[in-house]
Structure 1
């Protein structure tokens, strides 16, 4: 079932554009917004960008998104916020990974193309599997580091 994008969501698209794509580097097609600039301010910049992104997702959610789209949007925000909080690497990542623009694209795909319908069971399953593998690798690495430290003493 194809739905029409609500005019009430136009402001969400404008805020997303401001956060991720407002400015263009002259002579290139590379665009960025105020989100990566805010993230140059330690802690407060990351928190403010995260807050704006969450408000956008929650506003879009009020207009009847499927659980699958909602989870994908939250994953975009969490990934952007988590990696964006890492000094230096995160600052570069913030200029490239534009979670708000990705979320607007998901919203339009949902309403205009009918994509991402249904439950999020498959998406949640992949997330859980990824987390399990990540935790196992992390525990294994910590074990190896602990063995190295014990061997040094």
Structure 2
């Protein structure tokens, strides 16, 4: 379930079912299949990234679900911000043809985000939740990123097509 064997606080606070589901999603996206003879895993995210234009957007949307659930669990602004930075890095570099496909295999943003969530849920002391305005701003930014990930390849393909057909 957890990457950490000693997590009594998480189980006792009722976070275990959500955390288990998020761990499964993260594993599916980042390292569902282990390459035989190695500890390297390949998940759905790098495979989706091979699909032109829409693949990276679909991977981003699946990654955002982990952030939505983390916000619902009351994760702090700082942790949510780090989670968003992880998937922005994954989405922007992953959108670069060829280089991004290799990067997606190495950068496991969802695993990093699950670790941030677990660390937050297991940390002792007062837990300060992110306010609703902050969460709305984060998701508005992610929505804009989605638009950019769709528009940028379309614009580049159109420019390439125009360059090829005008000569």
Q: Do these two structures clear the TM 0.5 threshold for a shared fold by scoring above it?
A: yes
Decide which of 43, 54, 57 is 1:44's aligned counterpart.
54
Q: Identify which of 7, 10, 16 aligns with 1:4.
A: 10
Is residue 99 from structure 1 mapped to residue 109 from structure 2 by the alignment? yes
- For each residue in 1:9-68, what CA deviation from the matched residue of structure 2 results, as whole angstroms up to 9, or x when unmatched? 321110111000111111111112111001000111101000001122111110010110
Aligned equivalents of 1:14 and 1:29: distance in 2?
18
Q: Which runs of 5+ in 2 are unaligned?
A: 1-7, 131-167
Deviates more, 1:89-98 or 1:55-64: 55-64
The correspondence of residues 2-151 of structure 1 with structure 2, limited to 5 A, is: 3-4=9-10, 6=15, 7-114=17-124
Provide the TM-score with structure 2 as the length reference.
0.65
- Listed one character per residue, the Cα deviations across residues 63-100 of structure 1 (whole Å, up to 9, x for unaligned) are 01011000000000101000000011101100000100
| Alignment RMSD | 2.1
In 1, are the aligned partners of 2:74 and 2:129 still within 8 Å (CA)? Answer: no
The number of residue pairs the alignment matches comes to 118
1:110 Cα deviation (Å)?
Answer: 1.0
Report the TM-score when normalising by structure 1. 0.71
Structure 1: gaps of 5 or more residues: 121-153
When Rg is computed on C-alpha atoms for both structures, the one with the higher figure is 1
